[in-house]
Each structure stands twice: as C-alpha cells, then as structure tokens.
C-alpha cells in the first residue's frame, strides 16, 4: 500500500482528460494535478524549452510528495521522457501505451497520428508504432490550433470555425484511408465529437489520456503501490495562471467542481 497521491501534469487543461480517466479506473486514489496554464501551449516551443519546462513541472510534483508521475502531455512525452525516467518514482507518459492501443485497434494497418507541431516533428509515435510492426502505414498530421481551440472552449462540433480547422488538418489522414487515429495530445479528446464527425464513424479514435491512465493503473497494482481501501480520496490542482479561469473550464470536463481545490503557483 502507498497512500501518497499520483502526480499528473500538462501544459494546460488537456491533462484533465487523463485525470478523469484515473478517477474512473482508480476511484480511491488521490491526485495532484499541475497545469502550466501560464505557458501553454508547449507544442509550438523548441525542444530545449519543452525539456526545461518539463523538468520544472516534474520537480514541482515531486515537491508535493507524489508516488508516481504521469506526463499527460504528448509534447513532453515525445521530447522529455528521459527526464521522467530519471525520477525516483515510477514515471509514465502517453506515447507507448497509446501506440500499443492503436496497433491493437487497426484492421487495415493504416494509422493516423495527430499532435502538436513538436510531437509530430519528434516522430515519437511513428517510432513506437514501427517498433510494434514495421509494416504499418503511418500518416502524421500536426494540429497546432487544436490546443487553443480547447483552451478557449471552441468544442462544439457544429461550430463552423472548429469544423473547418478540423477538416483541413485531418484531410491528409482521410486521403490515406486510415482506420485508426491517435489523439496524440491530451487536449484533443475534448474535440472528439468534431474529429469523429470529420473522420467518419468507421474510424477508431485512440485517446492518449485514457491509455496512459490505464497503463498507470495496471503498473501501480502490479508494483503494490495502490492506496489503502479506506483512504479518503483527495484532489489538488495547481496552475501557473488565473485559477478562476481554470475552475470555470475544468468542471465540465471532470464532471465535478474543483472550486477551492485550485491554487496558483510559480515554478520558474
């Protein structure tokens, strides 16, 4: 048994999709969430900047006494995994479990990858997929405007702006007849309805936040790090920008209020 909380971090609010999944698969576990809302997005930054931010984010979570760290950020997962693996607690990211799920899901061997510019440039998902099957046909499409759309609440699949941006970004995937699409940024599941509308009902969408949460839950159970059965669950949220704005956007996606549980911090 280990009653310490699980640490989760992301560049903004996208990592809340992973927190929501953790609340479902590990309902008794406490969580400390860090969203770097003052520096979002990470996907347009240089690799050096992303790595510097990731190091600061992980250090903050370690200061909160967490028993494991989940990088619920495709960009960090793609560019700073070595930093996470050097932590003194178990580290998890989104790339490997998501690639495994996409490999298991595809029927025609054609997989699409969506992500930030930095994630797509890194080729992390392609490498992970090809390690599983070199014969897979992989098409990657950077979707840099998806993160600001999510952060600013443009989620309606009938919104003409959101729909047109999605159509433009996803056209290369449709042209290659992919049957499985990796949502390679934890912000992207919040746009799942519009992505599904563009790609069509036959396309399987792989949620990187969900796959990472499932992998973490399995690993903690195997390693005997789950909390005790009678331990009351607690959740704390930390951001680097206005907590009020975070509270307003977070509640609809988590399905519960985070009022009173969010604090603003500085990690630089």
The closest alpha carbon to 115, from 88, 86, 93, 91, belongs to 93
The 10 Å CB-count burial string (b at 16+, else e) for 206-233 is: bbbbbbbbbbbbeebeeeebbbeeeeee
In DSSP terms, which residues pair with 111 in a beta bridge?
Answer: 138, 180
Q: Which of 73, 143, 227, 247 is catalytic?
A: 73
> Contact, 116 vs 42, CB < 8 A?
yes
Q: Which of 143, 185, 227, 247 is catalytic?
A: 185
The whole-angstrom separation of Cα 243 and Cα 10 is 15
Q: Is 161 left (phi over 0), alpha (psi -120 to 50) or beta?
A: alpha
> Contact, 78 vs 148, CB < 8 A?
no
The whole-angstrom separation of Cα 112 and Cα 153 is 25
Secondary element (H or E) of residue 150: helix 146-151
Token pair 């549980």 in the structure block, residue: 261
- What single-letter DSSP state applies at residue 112? E
- Annotation says 185 is catalytic: yes
> Contact, 189 vs 209, CB < 8 A?
yes
- For residue 134, what are its two tokens? 């070199």
- Annotation says 143 is catalytic: no
Residue 205 φ then ψ, to 5°: -105, 125
Residues annotated as part of the active site = 73, 185
């Amino acid at each position: 048994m280990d009653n310490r909380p699980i640490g989760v971090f992301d560049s903004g609010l996208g990592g809340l999709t992973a927190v929501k999944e953790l609340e479902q698969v590990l309902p008794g576990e406490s969580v400390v969430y860090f969203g770097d809302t003052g520096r979002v997005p990470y996907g347009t930054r240089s690799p050096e900047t992303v790595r510097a931010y990731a190091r600061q984010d992980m250090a903050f979570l370690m200061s909160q006494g967490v028993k494991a760290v989940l990088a619920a950020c495709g960009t960090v997962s793609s560019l700073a995994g070595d930093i996470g693996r050097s932590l003194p607690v178990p580290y998890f990211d989104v790339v490997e479990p998501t690639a495994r799920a996409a490999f298991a899901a595809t029927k025609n061997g054609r997989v699409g990858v969506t992500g930030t510019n930095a994630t797509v440039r890194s080729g992390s998902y392609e490498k992970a997929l090809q390690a599983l099957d070199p014969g897979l046909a992989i098409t990657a499409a950077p979707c840099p405007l998806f993160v600001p759309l999510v952060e600013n609440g443009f989620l309606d699949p009938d919104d003409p702006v959101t729909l047109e941006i999605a159509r433009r970004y996803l056209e290369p995937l449709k042209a290659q007849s992919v049957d499985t699409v990796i949502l390679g940024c934890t912000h992207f599941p919040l746009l799942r309805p519009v992505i599904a509308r563009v790609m069509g009902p036959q396309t399987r969408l792989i949620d990187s936040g969900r796959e990472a949460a499932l992998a973490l839950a399995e690993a903690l159970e195997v390693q005997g790090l789950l909390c005790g059965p009678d331990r009351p669950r607690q959740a704390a949220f930390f951001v680097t920008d206005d907590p009020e704005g975070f509270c307003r956007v977070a509640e609809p996606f988590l399905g519960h209020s985070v009022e009173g549980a969010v604090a603003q911090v500085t990690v630089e």
